Amino acid sequence: MDSQQFREFGKLAIDFVADFYDSVRERDVLPSVEPGYLSRILPEEAPEEPQDWKKVFEDFKEKILPGVTAWHSPQFHGYFPCGTSFPSIVASLLTDGLGMVGVTWIASPVCTELEVVTLNWLGKLLGLPEEFLNCSPGPGGGVIQGSASEAVLVCLLAAKDKTIRRLKALNEDLDEDQTKIKLVAYTSDQCNSAIEKSGVLGSMKMRLLKADHLGRLRAQTLTEAFEEDKRKGLIPCYVVATLGTTGLCAFDPLEELGPICETENVWLHVDAAYAGAAFLCPEYRYLMEGISYADSFSFNAHKWLLVNLACSPMWVKDSLDLIKAFDVQRIYLNDINLKVKIPDYRHWQLPLGRRFRALKLWMVMKTYGASGLKKHIRNQVNLAQYFAKLVRSDERFLVDPEPSMGLVCIRLVGGDELTRTLLNNLLEKKKLFMVAAFSKGRLIIRIVIGSQFTTHSDVEVTWKLIRDEADNIGA
Ligand code: PLP
């Protein structure tokens, strides 16, 4: 493909994406394909000969597109939102167009420098303590990880290294291997699967402690777990608190958990994958009270901040903890003498190569402005409240627990079986998508306001579909 063909193909693709969003309400939320559909219609071998791009694009529309779930339909209410916006899409295109790998500063100075600037901007907007910021005089700073999973794992590995260094300083004969197997991590049973997986990947026992009736990990539970393990000769090392759990969007109280971690020299990581974006709005910052106790904090801008996947900003109070844990040198990675404080980000993450992720964050922050981003968050919270109000007007339904951010959990008073039938029937019709969770032992349907295009009338459409199905099943 030459640059002229690229111009034509690219323009067609941009028009396609614009049309895709303009017609987002016309598509079923769930695709009508059966598992294995693609293998049946694609050839078994890769094409030997080059194909004309126009034909390839037709193939894309005919074969690939039908398998796409409409995440940006206002009737998509599953999981948490998948961030997207036009400026972010353009930034992704430019990033790929520039085609560079930011392994060191000199490998593309702007890759490192824009990340520093945007994470300072964003950290300030979120109200993070100054010590987390690159612009603070200390060793704190922000970096963009590819996912919340990576952030949690990187911090777990750094916590392991830090604990071993601390114990070694107390006892230079310490057997590191024997000590490592005694380290324990803690989180709540409401944690995302990614947290549990970080324990598996990082070879650290991860205890899922029982959350309270509102889905929060409480101080007493954590203290008891620490005490129990210490009695067994084990060593508490790492705690992951969640601000906005995946099931119910519950918030672990950092002001309770933080002092315990501080006293016990345990690394506290805060996973705010979805709800972290809400801290742009000062009225929600009470939910992160105690954040100054945290060693690290991460959230997914690619969930609720209109930035496309993947963009998980993470801040640490002491980047030396990462560098000491992950610094592996090679002569080909030697940077020029920078003479100013600039992070060598390859020590802050799992991969060596770095994508220019800061560009989309920068584009989004500039084109929306802080005011536009706050408006987006507040609008989605208001829509969730409106949906909850509609549900409460029907006595066959319960909203339980209280709506949190853009999430409303509902169930039928008629019981779990009826709620399950309602969900299954709705999914079969493909007009709505949502997933189930449990609250206080009862099955609930999670309805997340997922699309940035959602309006009050879209919320009414969702409610009508649910209510009509409740009529159908005689709820
Ligand atoms: N933590 C929470 C609270 C989440 O909701 C999710 C995903 O929904 C994750 C972690 C995992 O995020 P990622 O896919 O970026 O690893």
Which of 187, 197, 300 is the pocket-test mutation for ligand 1 (most atoms within 8 Å of CB)? 300
What average pLDDT does this structure show over 435-464?
96
Ligand 1, closest atom to CA 272?
Answer: 3
Distance 48 CA to ligand 1 centre (A): 39
How many beta carbons lie within 10 A of that of residue 258, not counting itself?
A: 22
Nearest CA among 460, 439, 437 for reference residue 449: 460
Task: Give the model's confidence band at 332: pLDDT under 50 very low, under 70 low, under 90 confident, else very high.
Answer: confident
Instruction: Give the distance from CA 399 to its chain's centroid.
Output: 25
What average pLDDT does this structure show over 468-472?
97
Please tell me the residue having the least CA distance from ligand 1 atom 5: 246
pLDDT of 201 > 90? The answer is: yes
Q: Please work out whether the CB of residue 192 comes within 6 Å of at least one atom of ligand 1.
A: yes
Q: Please work out whether the CB of residue 85 comes within 6 Å of at least one atom of ligand 1.
A: no
Q: Which domains does the chain have, with CATH numbers?
A: 100-355 (3.40.640.10)
Q: Please work out whether the CB of residue 194 comes within 6 Å of at least one atom of ligand 1.
A: yes
pLDDT value at position 389? 98
Task: Give the model's confidence band at 181: pLDDT under 50 very low, under 70 low, under 90 confident, else very high.
Answer: very high
Q: Strand 296-298 relative to strand 435-439: parallel, antiparallel, unpaired?
A: unpaired
Q: What values do phi and psi take at 172, rounded to 5?
A: -70, -15
pTM over 0.90: yes
pLDDT for 71-121, tens place per residue?
999 999 999 999 999 999 999 999 999 999 999 999 999 999 999 999 999
Residue 324 burial (C-beta neighbours within 10 Å; 0-12, 13-18, 19+): middle
Distance 87 CA to ligand 1 centre (A): 23
Distance 147 CA to ligand 1 centre (A): 7
pLDDT value at position 392? 97
Q: Please work out whether the CB of residue 248 comes within 6 Å of at least one atom of ligand 1.
A: no
pLDDT of 224 > 90? The answer is: yes
pLDDT for 279-331, tens place per residue?
999 999 999 999 999 999 999 999 999 999 999 999 999 999 999 999 889 88
Q: Which secondary structure element, helix H or strand E, spans residue 180, and what is its range?
A: helix 176-180
Distance 194 CA to ligand 1 centre (A): 6
Q: Tell me what ipTM this predicted complex has.
A: 0.98
pLDDT value at position 336? 80
pLDDT of 427 > 90? The answer is: yes
Tell whether omega for the bond before 107 is within 30 degrees of 0, i.e. cis.
no
C-alpha to C-alpha distance for 214 and 312, rounded to whole angstroms: 27
pLDDT of 340 > 90? The answer is: no
pLDDT value at position 19? 97
Tally of CA atoms within 13 A in the half-sphere of 168 that contains its CB: 12
Distance 196 CA to ligand 1 centre (A): 11
| Cβ-proximal residues to 113 (8 Å cutoff; 6+ apart), any chain | 105, 342
Distance 192 CA to ligand 1 centre (A): 6
C-alpha to C-alpha distance for 265 and 165, rounded to whole angstroms: 12
**Mean residue pLDDT across the chain:** 96
Task: Give the model's confidence band at 339: pLDDT under 50 very low, under 70 low, under 90 confident, else very high.
Answer: confident
Q: Please work out whether the CB of residue 301 comes within 6 Å of at least one atom of ligand 1.
A: no
Task: Give the model's confidence band at 436: pLDDT under 50 very low, under 70 low, under 90 confident, else very high.
Answer: very high
Beta bridge partners of 271: 242, 298
Which of 190, 246, 357 is the pocket-test mutation for ligand 1 (most atoms within 8 Å of CB)? 246
C-alpha to C-alpha distance for 293 and 315, rounded to whole angstroms: 13
What average pLDDT does this structure show over 139-154?
97
pLDDT of 403 > 90? The answer is: yes
Beta bridge partners of 435: 446
C-alpha to C-alpha distance for 15 and 190, rounded to whole angstroms: 42
Q: Strand 407-412 relative to strand 442-448: parallel, antiparallel, unpaired?
A: antiparallel
Distance 299 CA to ligand 1 centre (A): 8
Nearest CA among 189, 116, 204, 118 for reference residue 155: 204
Q: Please work out whether the CB of residue 246 comes within 6 Å of at least one atom of ligand 1.
A: yes
pLDDT value at position 346? 92
Q: Please work out whether the CB of residue 120 comes within 6 Å of at least one atom of ligand 1.
A: no
What average pLDDT does this structure show over 353-365?
97
pLDDT for 287-301, tens place per residue?
999 999 999 999 999
If you compute the radius of gyration of the chain from its CA atoms, what whole number of angstroms results?
24
Q: What values do phi and psi take at 28, rounded to 5?
A: -65, 150
Ligand 1, closest atom to CA 79?
Answer: 8
